[in-house]
Structure 1
Amino acid sequence: MSTSFTVWSDDPISDSDSDKLDIEIFVDALVDHLRHASQANSSIVYSLVGPWGSGKSSILNLISNSLMESQGGGWSIARFTPWATSSTDGLLQEFFASIISAIPGSSDDARAARAKNKIAKLLEICSPGLKAIPVAGGAASEYAKFFSEQLTERHSWEREFSDASNSLADLNRRVLILVDDIDRLHSSELLELMRVIRLLGRFPGVSYLLAYDEEVLCRNVVAASGGQMSITDARRYLEKIIQYPFYIPPIQQSQIFDLLSDGLDAVVEQTGHSVVEDDGRRISSVARVISRSLGTIRSLNRVLEQVRIDLKPHEPGEVSVVDVFLLALLRHISPEVHDKLREFKSILVNSTAGTRQPVSFATTPGSNVSTVDNLVDLADPGVRADVRLLIGQIFPQAVGQISVEGSANLIRNAQYFDRYIYKKIPEGDVSDSSVRSWLRACEMGEKSAFRVGISGRDSTTQSVIFSKVQQFLQASDFGEAWGHWAFPMLLEALPAVSDQRRGFFTPRELFYQLADEALHNALENVWRSGMPPLCIEDLDPRDIVGMFNSILTTGEEMRPWGGMQKRCLDRLFFYAEENLKAGDSAERRSDIGYFLFLIAESPGVTEVAEYASRVRELIISETVSLDTLASRFVGTRTEMSSGESTLSSFNESGFRHWAPEEITWPEDYNGPIQSGDLSWENRKLFARREATRYPNGFLGFEAE
């Protein structure tokens, strides 16, 4: 994986070479206006208006550079940062310090020194009384009264302001004070700033350029009025202070998608991940969401940086780049919904990767079952439509759409969901790259690699591994013919497979399905003319049934592997025969009858008659009782919740095949059965009670 990358920075640009949005055209128009409108004897308040992240700070930098570099000069630029202070006095000091810093001239320049002193004198006079200055209109008498009390033995405010103004005019210099992010201010701080600019700072030749988000600023003004002003009133109030508002043009949709495409390409290159053919369509399907929510360079870069951060912990191929992007976009639009995805997992994901079936999650009124609507309702009403569109693209089956089959590593697939939420390979999961590496090693002849990989894993993790192996092999990641090396690999790994139940299946049962597919693939491709010698003598009979099902159920005409089939059947019958001979002391298990049934049903197997004859001889010779044989055909059922097993059924047809017709049970049994008692003695009673009794007295056989 590549480790070289450039982290996105939110710092504003300072030169036109870094301009990716052609904003310089807009800047040139603003600068031209400033040059013509701002005069040495006037004071104008301008505003630069745009949403959060639209590039206001960058534009201020470009304006400053352009004015300072313009021919003829005559400009001094200073910055005033009102939100950096914590008190009224601090605000005034910062304000006047900004003006003083814009006055040019060396320390021995008498005119410049005089102007600076005069402005400093104003600060001394007005600092104690700032809060008495009204926000808008009226209160002239109160204002005069206040200063008559405050300015004992001092020059009047008007005289000091006039002296400071004349000193600035003597400099014949135009000053522009840049005031950025005034929408960051609290309501009380905002009022103080407006008081300062409206009444204290209108010096000739000094103009102001305020940068803010108009929607946010108007809300703050309304809050500052204690709710007495409306949004319309707030706009009118700003109009009294600001003469020329400049509105930043929005980014064109084509620019958004160009920047997004370039950004994703860079992220993919930096993290080593890749995109697939369908990724472009999935992003295009949420184009309207992208246009509405990523309309500023900052919002776009923030989402792209989040994608890079979320991809970084994963090896290439472990997650989908587009899913990571869509999740980052969802977080950007509605953090509340994104943060609750984990709680809604059961209704969002496919339980089986690649399912094509739509899923309905409608509930009746009053139901406590969570639905996608409950999740979407967590979002702000203004973005719910976009949130629903994103949820539908990320989890199509959750909104009733048909889930188009795609890469297995999508978040919609249950076994991949958690790695997107926790930003890592979570407990109970294994990276795809690890599983693939084991398979590659086995393909090259190191068949123990897979056994080592699964050894010591819990049942949940083993089940996940087997599911991944099945996905990778079925997806032709290893070519069309893979069974000839995968099946021996699985035989080698069998002793390490857990038998602990997980949900409806144990890992061993899933392992059997995988083994059967591998054997079938091998027989169709490489082992057409015969199978290599495989050791099965040490296998448990159920492992033989599970792993060699393809050859146990194949007819005579398709038996180039007949020798292996006979070895499997011999092994099954030997085990069943020994179990029957052991009677009630034999190992208690519920698959002996199934082994005998499978042997009897194997198509085209001439040895079946020989096996049946041997069982009948055992019964006729009373080596094995009819009750013992019947007990092996009593099945059990295991409750998923409790794990308890109970007697469930009697396979009478399987019993009929093996029992001699001339042997009968001497008596019926109609008494109680302890269903939880799995002993052979209790199974005998269960079989007697469940078997059909025909008129001729034979138990289990119909009279001819």
Structure 2
Amino acid sequence: MAWFRRAKTSDERTAIGAGRRRSTAHGNLYADDPVDAGQDRLDRGRLADQLTRSVVAVSEQSDSAVVALVGPWGSGKSSLLLGIEERLRTGGWYLARHNPWMYSSYDSAVAGFFAEIRDAVPDEVMGPDRRQTLSEWVDRLAPAGAIGSLAGVDATGVVTATAALIKGDRSPERLRKSTAEALAALDQPLLVILDDLDRLQPDELLLTFKLVRLIGRLPNLYYLLAYDEETLSEVLQHTQLIGADPGRARQYLEKMVQVRLDIPPLLEDQRIGLVDQGIDGICAAHGIQLGPADQERLGAAWSDCLVLYLDQPRAVKRLFTQVDAFWLEVDGEVDFVDFLLMTFLRTFERDVYDLVVDSRVELLGSTLSASRGTETNAERWNRWKQLISEQGRPRHPDGIAALLAVLFLYLRGAQENSSYSSEFREDVRRRRGVDSEEFFDRYIQAGVPAGDLPDKLVAAAAAELRNDEAGPALEQFQAWLDKDAAKAVQKLSRAEEQEPLPADSALALLGRNYLASAQQRSGFFALSADRQVLRTALRIFDREGAANIGTLAARGPSELALAADLLRKAKRNASTARHEWLADATGVVSAALEAHLRAASTRKLHKASDIARYAYAFRDLRGRESAHTLLWELLESPEWTLEDLLATLVPVGQTSNGRRTWQTLGDLETGNVDELLGLERVLAALPETGTEDADESDVSFENRRRLALRTMERLRAGRGDPAEEQRAT
């Protein structure tokens, strides 16, 4: 697809997003096996053919030689060796693999080396005489004990106890000559492959080279060494033989190797194709679809940073195996592009990743120190580039800084000398980006933290609502409503925005939890839960009309409170034209409020002390005169008294000193008394009892009554003073 290299048209981006659904060679990124011709994006088949022809050409011009396959770490040397090995075996070569890191001494390495040669040549070709010659020469080169103690090597196949007793005058030189004659008589050449030499310790490397040089030029015996030249040179410089001399290390390698085969660097199209294949594979495996905005951010990250790091096949595999391994933990909970880029940071530049985690508060823009309040964009950008260079010490500091600007608006604004509005932050939140306080922890925890509500659970609960099911997801969601209603309702509201929920089911859920959620005053992002419920319910009624309002109001006290507050909120809006359902709903809800108040008048008020909520709502919907008429009528009930009704109008609040929180009584607002009952009528109806002062820390119903009566008495006593009367009213 080569989607990194240039800006795409709208049609192209759509095609790319659709293309990500197809199945690709996902598994090929996680193994070093030779790739099929149809999946060979790196043209490794052609390269393996060329290298194989070079090895064959060397064998045609020399009885023995050391050939080197040279390439940086991760360039695909092991995969190429497998391809060469496969082709040579098909061409009739005998192949042996010597793993020098398996041996701790020269003696055991010699034994292992010849054991591998023995196993590579069939018995019928080698013959017992040639095998005996090999055994005797091995015994001269290394003690039999080293062979017998070698793990995984059958000593009897290499040297026997009797072979340890050398008879006659068969000197090491005679044995070497006989061994050469035995190998020369083979019908096909034998190639010994030594991979990953750059992973050996200095003494192990010299031991291996000693083995190659000593046994060396035997006919029909060829070596293919694979290594990263830069690393191997550094290892050699840690030996006493070479010392800290790069030139001497290079000369040493030149003497060891007769023919050098270099893996060419990846072409730009190959690198892009390999990365594209990795993204395609993961998207296809996990059902991920990338849109135009995703493509744009990926393209920016590639050109600014990833291109500097993903320069070898192993680097690409390393990234995408990490992404693939952890994606299931966050699928549906984070943004895929941001997760890929944060995984890149964690994998390739862990120090910078830790710097991002430690700088969370600043990057997310939650708060800034006073000293940075006057910092210019240029100063901020330079400061962060310095932080990255000093604390992270990345291989490519400018590229990493640019990558962080892709991830965080705070740094992008500094880089571009611009600012981003709240709409951009809302876009980040909507796609669950790392640059959101709500989702940041999911990226660094590789999953949803224990205190966070999974979006998958919300989606499952919404699906059960749509299917009219009372399933396990709704049960778990209800537990979240009980614990953190603001967070739960906010996430449900977002699900409702994306795909509308059935009005009746959604309103029933919101309604039965409304009064309980209103008590949770420290909700998500400091938003109280009842505000979240009202916003969501209002959107539903604006979409569906007033058809469900009667059903909602009749369900119970909590649902009635939601219906009433919903209408009060709609009436307060500057423009009621958008709430076309309001006029029809007002009569229905006010009738339900009246019915609720009449039913409450059959019980003592202290058992229904929240009656003030419904009385205020009735006044707001029907007006003060209707409220006066209804409430004075209800006060004729033998269960209600004016003193108790006034007590219900005394608010109960919370006070905190930072260490603990407790309930206290607020002031009785005489203006509210006038709105509900008429102040003059209340004063005329109340007897003068000389009530004592109330204790504001006592929130009992009896003390609320005392405070209400004491407020009325003070009002009555001060009515001769105009200033006092104005203050009281």
TM-score (norm 2): 0.70
Q: Could you say what secondary structure the match of 1:46 adopts?
A: strand
What is the aligned partner in structure 1 of residue 162 from structure 2?
none
Task: Identify if the C-alpha distance between structure 1 residues 228 and 694 changes in structure 2 by more than 3 Å, giving closer, same or farther.
Answer: farther
Q: Which amino acid aligns with 1:517?
A: T
Give the distance between the partners of 2:167 and 2:712, measured in 1 at CA. 116
Task: Identify if the C-alpha distance between structure 1 residues 629 and 279 changes in structure 2 by more than 3 Å, giving closer, same or farther.
Answer: same
Counterpart contact for 1:636–1:648, Cα < 8 Å:
no
How big is each residue's C-alpha offset from its partner over 1:472-518, in whole Å with a ceiling of 9 and x where there is no partner? 2223x228xx65663244335558x5566473469994255324432
Identity of aligned residues (%): 23
Structure 1: 5+ residue stretches without partners: 130-150, 350-357, 366-370
2:234 to 219, 223, 227: 219
What is the aligned partner in structure 1 of residue 500 from structure 2?
478
What pairs with 1:70-81 in structure 2 (closer than 5 Å)?
Answer: 75-81=93-99
Q: Could you say what secondary structure the match of 1:561 adopts?
A: helix
How much does 1:391 deviate? 4.1
Task: Identify if the C-alpha distance between structure 1 residues 513 and 26 changes in structure 2 by more than 3 Å, giving closer, same or farther.
Answer: closer
How much does 1:248 deviate? 0.9
Task: Identify if the C-alpha distance between structure 1 residues 164 and 452 changes in structure 2 by more than 3 Å, giving closer, same or farther.
Answer: closer
How big is each residue's C-alpha offset from its partner over 1:120-142, in whole Å with a ceiling of 9 and x where there is no partner? 4443233369xxxxxxxxxxxxx
Give the distance between the partners of 1:159 and 1:279, measured in 2 at CA. 71
What is the aligned partner in structure 2 of residue 82 from structure 1?
100
What is the aligned partner in structure 2 of residue 382 from structure 1?
395
2:726 to 682, 690, 701: 701
What pairs with 1:498-509 in structure 2 (closer than 5 Å)?
Answer: 501=520, 503-504=522-523, 509=528
What is the aligned partner in structure 1 of residue 69 from structure 2?
48
The alignment status of 1:559 with 2:583, answered yes or no, reads yes
What is the aligned partner in structure 2 of residue 550 from structure 1?
569
Structure 2: 5+ residue stretches without partners: 1-20, 145-165, 373-383, 415-419
How much does 1:284 deviate? 1.3
Give the distance between the partners of 2:715 and 2:64, measured in 1 at CA. 105
Q: Which amino acid aligns with 2:544?
A: V
How big is each residue's C-alpha offset from its partner over 1:249-273, in whole Å with a ceiling of 9 and x where there is no partner? 1222322332333333333333344
Give the distance between the partners of 1:644 and 1:20, measured in 2 at CA. 69
Give the distance between the partners of 1:511 and 1:531, measured in 2 at CA. 18
Counterpart contact for 1:79–1:178, Cα < 8 Å:
yes
Counterpart contact for 1:633–1:654, Cα < 8 Å:
no
What is the aligned partner in structure 2 of residue 26 from structure 1?
47
Q: Could you say what secondary structure the match of 1:701 adopts?
A: helix
Give the distance between the partners of 2:471 and 2:99, measured in 1 at CA. 68
How much does 1:470 deviate? 0.7
The alignment status of 1:291 with 2:307, answered yes or no, reads yes
How much does 1:683 deviate? 7.7
Counterpart contact for 1:448–1:493, Cα < 8 Å:
no
What is the aligned partner in structure 2 of residue 137 from structure 1?
none
Task: Identify if the C-alpha distance between structure 1 residues 17 and 434 changes in structure 2 by more than 3 Å, giving closer, same or farther.
Answer: closer
Q: Count how many residue pairs are aligned between Structure 1 and Structure 2.
A: 647
What is the aligned partner in structure 2 of residue 96 from structure 1?
114
How much does 1:333 deviate? 1.2
Q: Which amino acid aligns with 2:78?
A: S
Q: Which amino acid aligns with 2:268?
A: Q
Give the distance between the partners of 1:94 and 1:245, measured in 2 at CA. 26
Q: Which amino acid aligns with 2:95?
A: I
**Larger deviation, residues 443-452 vs 388-397:** 443-452
What is the aligned partner in structure 2 of residue 58 from structure 1?
79
Task: Identify if the C-alpha distance between structure 1 residues 97 and 305 changes in structure 2 by more than 3 Å, giving closer, same or farther.
Answer: same
Give the distance between the partners of 2:716 and 2:133, measured in 1 at CA. 115
Give the distance between the partners of 1:80 and 1:564, measured in 2 at CA. 88
Q: Which amino acid aligns with 1:292?
A: L
Give the distance between the partners of 1:485 and 1:666, measured in 2 at CA. 50
Q: Could you say what secondary structure the match of 2:237 adopts?
A: helix
What is the aligned partner in structure 2 of residue 510 from structure 1?
529
The alignment status of 1:435 with 2:458, answered yes or no, reads yes
The alignment status of 1:193 with 2:208, answered yes or no, reads yes
The alignment status of 1:465 with 2:478, answered yes or no, reads no
Task: Identify if the C-alpha distance between structure 1 residues 471 and 689 changes in structure 2 by more than 3 Å, giving closer, same or farther.
Answer: farther
What is the aligned partner in structure 1 of residue 478 from structure 2?
455
Counterpart contact for 1:2–1:272, Cα < 8 Å:
no
Give the distance between the partners of 2:41 and 2:625, measured in 1 at CA. 84
Task: Identify if the C-alpha distance between structure 1 residues 456 and 618 changes in structure 2 by more than 3 Å, giving closer, same or farther.
Answer: closer
Q: Which amino acid aligns with 1:93?
A: A
How big is each residue's C-alpha offset from its partner over 1:575-619, in whole Å with a ceiling of 9 and x where there is no partner? 99999x96xx78777x95x8777666x4xx553134357889999
How much does 1:551 deviate? 4.8
Give the distance between the partners of 1:372 and 1:638, measured in 2 at CA. 43
Task: Identify if the C-alpha distance between structure 1 residues 256 and 108 changes in structure 2 by more than 3 Å, giving closer, same or farther.
Answer: closer
Task: Identify if the C-alpha distance between structure 1 residues 34 and 4 changes in structure 2 by more than 3 Å, giving closer, same or farther.
Answer: closer
Counterpart contact for 1:647–1:676, Cα < 8 Å:
yes
Counterpart contact for 1:283–1:322, Cα < 8 Å:
yes
How big is each residue's C-alpha offset from its partner over 1:134-190, in whole Å with a ceiling of 9 and x where there is no partner? xxxxxxxxxxxxxxxxx9997665555455445545658644321111122222211
Counterpart contact for 1:256–1:295, Cα < 8 Å:
yes
Task: Identify if the C-alpha distance between structure 1 residues 305 and 239 changes in structure 2 by more than 3 Å, giving closer, same or farther.
Answer: same
Task: Identify if the C-alpha distance between structure 1 residues 606 and 314 changes in structure 2 by more than 3 Å, giving closer, same or farther.
Answer: closer
Give the distance between the partners of 2:347 and 2:617, measured in 1 at CA. 59
Task: Identify if the C-alpha distance between structure 1 residues 5 and 172 changes in structure 2 by more than 3 Å, giving closer, same or farther.
Answer: closer
How much does 1:211 deviate? 0.3
What pairs with 1:221-240 in structure 2 (closer than 5 Å)?
Answer: 221-225=236-240, 228-240=243-255
Q: Which amino acid aligns with 2:77?
A: K
RMSD: 5.4
How much does 1:467 deviate? 1.8
How much does 1:102 deviate? 5.7
What is the aligned partner in structure 1 of residue 660 from structure 2?
642
The alignment status of 1:526 with 2:526, answered yes or no, reads no
Give the distance between the partners of 1:300 and 1:691, measured in 2 at CA. 84
What is the aligned partner in structure 1 of residue 282 from structure 2?
267
How much does 1:21 deviate? 1.4
Q: Which amino acid aligns with 1:564?
A: V
Give the distance between the partners of 1:191 and 1:633, measured in 2 at CA. 87
TM-score (norm 1): 0.72
Select the structure with the greater relative contact order (CA < 8 A; seq sep ≥ 6). 2
What is the aligned partner in structure 1 of residue 376 from structure 2?
none
Give the distance between the partners of 2:571 and 2:85, measured in 1 at CA. 85
Give the distance between the partners of 1:376 and 1:672, measured in 2 at CA. 68
How much does 1:287 deviate? 0.8
Counterpart contact for 2:67–2:260, Cα < 8 Å:
yes
How much does 1:539 deviate? 0.9
What is the aligned partner in structure 2 of residue 278 from structure 1?
293
How much does 1:326 deviate? 2.8
Counterpart contact for 1:42–1:204, Cα < 8 Å:
yes
How much does 1:195 deviate? 1.9
**Larger deviation, residues 30-39 vs 418-427:** 418-427
What is the aligned partner in structure 2 of residue 487 from structure 1?
507
Q: Which amino acid aligns with 2:109?
A: L
Task: Identify if the C-alpha distance between structure 1 residues 526 and 64 changes in structure 2 by more than 3 Å, giving closer, same or farther.
Answer: closer
Counterpart contact for 1:181–1:212, Cα < 8 Å:
yes
Give the distance between the partners of 1:695 and 1:650, measured in 2 at CA. 21
Task: Identify if the C-alpha distance between structure 1 residues 159 and 640 changes in structure 2 by more than 3 Å, giving closer, same or farther.
Answer: same
Give the distance between the partners of 2:369 and 2:362, measured in 1 at CA. 11
